[in-house]
Chains A and B, each alone.
Chain A
């Protein structure tokens, strides 16, 4: 009997803790968004973060994009050729990239590359009292440290996803047309006939904007909310990657259902 009560109490505590974290996360988000106004007067801060969040993620995104596209070309050709439908290879590659893989894989890579770095950086700033130090220098650390990082992540994601998709289409073309002998004109024309600017590409961009928002928010919150010790920072970094991945995959399902399910 006692064991059951203890278990219930533990469950309740965990639930309350999660609710409390959720509340803190939303309050932090409000603070971050309130910092957008002051940030507009200091664009240099955003520039720096675009460099460390966006530019430094380009390499991994580009390489992954090309290889994912090449694998899609290979696998797609293998299956489509059984039905004599190699002509639609371009459609398959482009549709899967633009609709799903581009935004989703970019977001997962972003969480691993930039998100974890953001969490670690902010967590270390907290652990080494840099955030408190800013506060005591009468500088709001949310405005000065968090808002530029958040905005940089939010803006970088669609750009990175577009690079991923574009290079993936090219990688699929390289394998399909270059190596496996699909007709060049068919690859592109079929793709152009079936991929819709509004339905496919615009929706993909919307997805990556949502993912950029969520991934940056999670990364920054975990860093800001971490236990300021080396163990706490490392745990927060892990949490960032796990939570971001789950959030991205879950949201992807919801967004896909909203956008494409009629």
Chain B
């Protein structure tokens, strides 16, 4: 397992292997320095259930930020809120200084071209082969020549180590390969940030290691900002610069991985160390076993 490392300084990035010829993008930065995504007072309800209840998050630019929490806490929902695919019931999400839910469709789409997202399943287009999948955003959003597209696609595939798989169809890829192709696609337009939705779920140790390394390397080489949503504690803690722990719609803990892991909160300790019982009970709420098994006895007791 890679050692925990401090936030990279820009000087350290040049050492990493070049993932892509990142064209110098003249980005005016109206946002306060170092915060790319600013979430304030965000609430989201599904039916009557509150998924999020007035949460605040800051995602610093150029770092790998992890958002952890048990399954079903709406971590994917949070990414969709940041990407503007869902509308919050209250609060704001500002990406690069722009309130994402106040943008008009055209502006939102322009902003999304600079945000990559890696879905759990990869979300590759099943009727296109690997090459065409990676070329897709380039063909949609640029007017590059065919030879230019070919060069770019091969470079992106090289960065994820799958240049040789360019002619395969998505159905012929393993889960880990599909995610790597999706990653190549996500960086095709050289975005400013990538959101990873549960990148490690269901991976064997080798592809897990590959993905862990790729996320870190791409982040540093391509000057990206990465948001990793996951419940795989060890892997995520290994690459993250900053960790948010979310449960029951609230941010429970935040800080560098080492600090969060050493946190005194009983809940966080249970989650980070994977203990079967603790503040999160082993048993789903139920009447006592005796009441369930012996209704007559239960009735008498009641």
Contacts and interface: CB of A to CB of B under 8 A. Distances in A.
A and B: partners? yes
A230 interface: no
A130 B109 contact: no
Interface in B103-161: 109-110, 112-113, 115-117, 119-121, 123-126, 136-137, 140-141
Contacts of A125: 126
B80 interface: yes
19 contacts: A124-B126, A128-B121, A128-B123, A129-B119, A129-B120, A129-B121, A130-B123, A130-B124, A132-B85, A133-B117, A133-B119, A133-B124, A136-B83, A137-B112, A137-B137, A137-B185, A138-B137, A138-B140, A140-B109
A138 B109 contact: yes
Query: Majority SS of interface residues in chain B?
Result: mixed
A138 B125 CA distance: 15
Size bin of chain A's contact surface:
10 to 19
A136 B112 contact: yes
A135 interface: yes
A136 B136 contact: no
Interface of A: 124-125, 128-130, 132-140
B125 A132 contact: no
Interface in B157-194: 182, 185
Q: Identify the interface centre among B119, B123, B126, B182: most chain A CB within 10 Å of its CB.
A: B123
Interface string B263-284: 0000000000000000000000
Nearest to B112: A138
A128 B110 CA distance: 24
A138 B120 contact: no
Nearest to A131: B123
Contacts of B85: 132, 135-136
With most chain B CB atoms within 10 A of its CB, the pick from A125, A129, A133, A134 is: A133
Ranked nearest first, the 5 interchain pairs of A and B with the lowest CB-CB distance are: A133-B123, A129-B123, A138-B112, A138-B109, A136-B117
A136 B109 CA distance: 8
Nearest to B123: A133
Nearest to A136: B117
Contacts of A135: 83, 85, 112
- Counting chain B residues whose Cβ lies within 8 A of the other chain, the interface size class is 20 to 34
A46 to B, nearest CB: 15
A138 B123 contact: no
Given A128-B126, A132-B80, A132-B85, A137 B119 contact: no
A132 B182 CA distance: 13
A132 B109 contact: no
A55 to B, nearest CB: 16
Contact of B113 (A132, A134, A138): A138
A139 B110 CA distance: 10
B245 to A, nearest CB: 25
Given A130-B126, A132-B80, A132-B85, A138 B110 contact: yes
Contacts of B83: 135-136
Given A128-B123, A138-B110, 4 more contacts: A129-B120, A130-B123, A134-B125, A135-B83
A130 B125 contact: yes
B135 to A, nearest CB: 12
Contacts of B115: 136
Contact of A139 (B80, B116, B140, B182): B140
A138 B113 CA distance: 6
A50 to B, nearest CB: 15
B233 to A, nearest CB: 24
A129 B182 CA distance: 12
A139 B113 CA distance: 9
Contacts of B112: 135-138
A132 B110 contact: no
Nearest to B141: A138
A134 B137 CA distance: 9
Given A129-B120, A129-B121, A137 B140 contact: yes
A128 B182 CA distance: 13
A234 B196 CA distance: 29
A144 to B, nearest CB: 8
A69 to B, nearest CB: 36
Contacts of A124: 126
Contacts of B116: 136
Contacts of B119: 129, 132-133
A128 B197 CA distance: 13
Contacts of B141: 138
A134 B117 CA distance: 10
A47 to B, nearest CB: 14
A128 B179 CA distance: 12
A163 B266 CA distance: 72
A135 B113 CA distance: 10
Nearest to B114: A138
Contacts of A139: 137, 140
Interface in B59-110: 80, 83, 85, 109-110
Contacts of B136: 137
Nearest to A124: B126
B151 to A, nearest CB: 20
A139 B117 CA distance: 13
